[in-house]
Structure 1
Amino acid sequence: MASVEYLRQAKEAPVRHRRVSAWLQATPLTLTFVLFFIVPLVITLIVSFWDFNEYQIIPAFTLKNYTAIFDGCSSLTDVCVTFKTYWSTLRFCAIVWAVTLLLGFTIAYFLAFHVRTTAMQTVLFLVCTIPFWTSNVIRMISWIPLLGRNGIVNQALLSAHLVERPVEWLLYSNFSVVLAFVHLYTFFMIVPIFNAMMRIDRALLEAARDAGASGCQVIRDVVLPLSKTGIVIGSIFVVTIVMGDFLTVGVMGGQQIASVGKIIQVQTGYLQFPAAAANAIILLAVVLMIVWALTRVVDIRKEL
């Protein structure tokens, strides 16, 4: 019996050692996640239920911050400010997502299936990263001398006699906000889609072509289904960033376009932290619902 027990313990020792090793390896990442994500989120949730006035925050439970957000939203005849703001933000998000998806898929497809050498793929990837060598603010400001009333684009249009007066909607408009978003965040769509495409077996493409499939059919029936994981991951990146962005909307919209992130930034600037926290919690809930809907399309854990 003693020998059997000894053999059993000897077999369990490596398993126990691996478990301890796995926990030790996961501990730093777990602590980082808890410290920099869970703790701030819990603090934000707690503060969202506090009261405040013009000069201080009062740590007393209240639902005033949440009721103020949805004030007037029960009316059936008029849309409240909150719904209008969320609609504006979601509209920007949908347009930017569609444009970045189209550009990201096209560029990733070209890099994965038309660029033959790894060296050239690396060079072209570096070209895609060039905008990230400077800050977002500088990249946004660089559009102003191009799109302004007296900017290069308007001067070129006037010189070519294509317009009689400067085009006003090029800057400080919905167009300029979307343009800046696409410029800033298309790369976040390219990388995961390209990574997914590089994992596609090239024999599948050859088999589809041998079976008589056209180029569009190959993309629709082979490449697109096998790239869904990258599309969903890229979509999550773009959606979560755009939904919370306030700097791009403020700079490129001329401080005239409302967004949820802009409201939170203004409330923070006026030291209305409980109200800003309540808006942040609601925004987080909306973003999590969008992410949940995207993950219903593809089970990322299984695909990866």
Structure 2
Amino acid sequence: MDRIAGNRKLSGLLMVSPLLAVFLVFLVLPIVMIVVVSFWRATEFSIIPDFVWENYEFLFGSAVTYQVFLNTFKYALITWVFTLVIGFTVAYFLAFHVRSLTWQIALFLLCTIPFWTSNIIRMISWIPFLGRNGIANSTLISWGVIDEPLEWLLFSDFAVILAFVHLYTLFMVVPIFNTMMRIDKSLIEAARDAGANGAQILWNVVIPLTKPGIMIGTIFVVTLVMGDFITVRFMSGSQSANVGRLISNDIALLQYPSASATAVILLITVLMVIGILLRFVDIRKEL
């Protein structure tokens, strides 16, 4: 019996070893290297392998760091609110108001059409629309709504948030829609038979049962926004920054230890946010 159990254990280890190797090589090892490099020292001309705390001391001793992290959280929070509202509405419509499975699939695929192009192309497409002489300003002026072009439509926090919402809303729609499709429709019928109106059914039945999907979508959106840097650079006209932009600037200046230290702090921050979110909802049932 012991020999059989040992053979089963060995076969199990052999079966999982390819996945374990991929996990170690492509996830664990890069993170370990980033942590190691974050303690190295850099000069204008070279990078010196060492164990110093100066990169972290500089980060935590600079007011710019706190402002950049605050800006990052601001972008993540505002984007999360808008993507949640839009994503929940779209998912609710697809799950409960579109009865035909064929139409559900067709409309869901319609939502994925923007993803047939790159994020950068979709993001840059807003520039001619929001520009001083763009479509939005020209239309508002022709309608008599405004007398002169609105300067804050482009190269502003508004443009950054708009691009984020455009890029990442689908990451909220998919998990919420997947969760809603698993809701037993008899529960909604029972609530309606008990006298509950639409708002009560939504608040007391649909939303509680959709929490795992909302949480998965939240994790997707928050982590993507906090790690994004190219959107902030283009849509703010280099007038604003987030942590990803800070890391990108350090890499451009070949300050890899400083960039690694910032990346480690960002990783820890994101993991803390995810840890807090996971305390509210058990998403293992959705995985």
Q: Which residue of 1 aligns with 2:23?
A: 33
In the TM superposition, residue 19 of structure 1 has moved relative to its aligned partner by 3.9
1:235 pairs, out of 215, 218, 228, with 218
Q: Distance in 1 between matches of 2:272 and 2:208?
A: 23
Task: State the TM-score, normalizing by the size of structure 1.
Answer: 0.91
1:186 partner letter = T
| Aligned twin of 1:155 | 138
**1:5-154 paired onto structure 2 within 5 Å:** 8=1, 13=4, 18-72=8-62, 80-154=63-137
Q: Which aligned pairs between 1:246-265 and structure 2 lie closer than 5 A?
A: 246-265=229-248
Output the amino acid matched with 1:47. Answer: V
Q: Is the 8 A contact 2:179 2:286 kept in 1?
A: no
> Does the residue aligned with 2:279 lie in a helix, a strand or coil?
helix
Matches within 5 A, 1:284-295: 284-295=267-278
Supply the AA of the counterpart residue of 2:94: L
**Pair 1:278 & 2:268 matched:** no
- Following TM superposition, the consecutive aligned residue runs of length 4 or more in structure 1 with deviations greater than 3 angstroms are 15-22
Q: Match of 2:14, SS? A: helix
TM-fit CA distance, 1:20: 3.9
Question: 1:303 offset after TM fit, Å?
Answer: 5.6
Q: Aligned ranges for residues 154-193 of structure 1 at < 5 Å?
A: 154-193=137-176
C-alpha distance in structure 2 between counterparts of 1:121 and 1:29, whole Å: 34
> Structure 1 unaligned runs (5+)?
1-7, 73-79
Q: Find the aligned partners of 1:123 and 1:262 in 2 and give their Cα distance.
A: 37
The residue type paired with residue 218 of structure 1 is: I
Q: Could you give the per-residue CA deviations for residues 222-280 of structure 1, whole angstroms, max 9, x where no partner exists?
A: 11111111111110000101001000000111011011100100000000000000000
TM-score, scaled to structure 2:
0.97
d(CA) in 2 for partners of 1:108, 1:16: 48
Aligned length: 287
Give the residue type in structure 1 aligned to 2:30: P
2:166 and 2:172 mapped to 1: Cα distance? 11
Q: In the alignment, residue 136 of structure 1 is paired with which amino acid?
A: N
CA distance in 2, matches of 1:299, 1:39: 29
SS of structure 2 residue aligned to 1:297: coil
Give the superposed CA RMSD: 1.4
Gaps in structure 2 of 5+ consecutive residues: none
**Alignment map for 1:212-231 (pairs within 5 Å):** 212-231=195-214
Identify if the C-alpha distance between structure 1 residues 130 and 303 changes in structure 2 by more than 3 Å, giving closer, same or farther: closer
Counterpart residue type for residue 169 of structure 2: T
**2:213–2:286 contact (8 Å) kept in structure 1:** no
Please list the CA deviations of residues 166-188 of structure 1 after superposition, one character each: whole Å capped at 9, or x if unmatched.
00010000000000000000000
Identity of aligned residues (%): 55
Q: Distance in 2 between matches of 1:225 and 1:27?
A: 38
Q: In the superposition, relative to structure 1, how do residues 205 and 21 fare at CA in structure 2: closer, same or farther (>3 Å)? A: farther
